[in-house]
Amino acid sequence: MARYNAPFEIHVHGQVALRTDVTFDNLQDALKPLWKYAGAKSLVAASGSFYEDEPGIRFDAQEHLLQMCWTVEGDDDFRQALDEMCMNLNDVAQSGAAIEVTFYDTEFDEDEEDASDAESRDDFVMLFVGPDPASIMQVQRDLLVQDVVNLMERHFDGAELGGVVAAIDSLFSQRFDDLVNSLQLGKPPRGSGGGSSGMGHGGGRKPRHLH
């Protein structure tokens, strides 16, 4: 459903490996916050993107994959739908995964004469989902290592960066130990495990993904 004067075009991009027992109906329930926000009555009705050149939301039953390259018009309240979606995907995910969400300011035009006085409200959010905290932290760790190594390889040979990677692993190990200890102190009910979503914000305008 078109949203008139929507301040953002919101692009959701990512791939989530699903448990082998997850059906389309399970996935439709998990993604209900998205298709309801889009004003649709089902996942099928909302699976097409705002842009025809984007694949939209796809369920690969053979490979047990959720693939998203989907844009919707909306406002900041879409963040609540994202939070609900992440909690739902935790219950159907086979392993940890990252989901990129970009908010494009539809009212900002850098070519306008007074653009120098305006400030874009573009935003970039990285979400993490997974069946448990360990799988989520593994994805976060892998992405951080990739970013740091790519940055430092401009100045050092990759073989020299083993200590940097070890330091990152040590930080994540400590974070995981702290999490485990906090859960033990809280004494949660048995069987109540499940990962949580993480968010990160970054500036700068990012291009839409087309695959």
Q: What is the pLDDT of residues 83-120, one digit of tens each?
A: 999 999 999 999 999 999 999 998 876 555 455 556 77
The pTM of the full predicted model, rounded to 2 decimals, is 0.76
Domain that holds residue 158: 136-186
Residue 92 to residue 128: CA distance in whole angstroms: 13
Residues 103 and 177 in one domain: no
Same domain assignment for residues 126 and 28: yes
Round to whole Å and give the CA distance between 35 and 25. 13
Distance (Å, whole) CA 25 – CA 151: 42
Domain shared by 182 and 102, yes or no: no
Say if residue 96 is in the same domain as residue 37.
yes
For residue 191, pLDDT over 60 is answered with no
Any idea what the Cα angle at residue 134 is, between residues 202 and 201, rounded to 5°?
5
Alpha carbon distance, N-terminus to C-terminus of the chain: 23
Q: Sorting pLDDT into bands at 50, 70 and 90, what band is 2?
A: low
Q: Tell me the per-residue pLDDT of 12-49, one tens digit each, with 9 for 90 and over.
A: 999 999 999 999 999 999 999 999 999 999 999 999 99
Nearest to 70 by CA among 185, 154, 160, 81: 81
The DSSP output letter for 40 is -
- Structure-block tokens of residue 18: 């699903």
| Number of domains the chain contains | 2
The answer, yes or no, to whether residue 6 has pLDDT greater than 50, is yes
In a domain? residue 210:
no
CA atoms of 32 and 136, how far apart (whole Å) = 22
pLDDT above 70 as % of the chain: 80
DSSP 117: G
What burial class does residue 98 get, using C-beta atoms within 10 Å of its C-beta: 0-12 exposed, 13-18 middle, 19+ buried?
buried
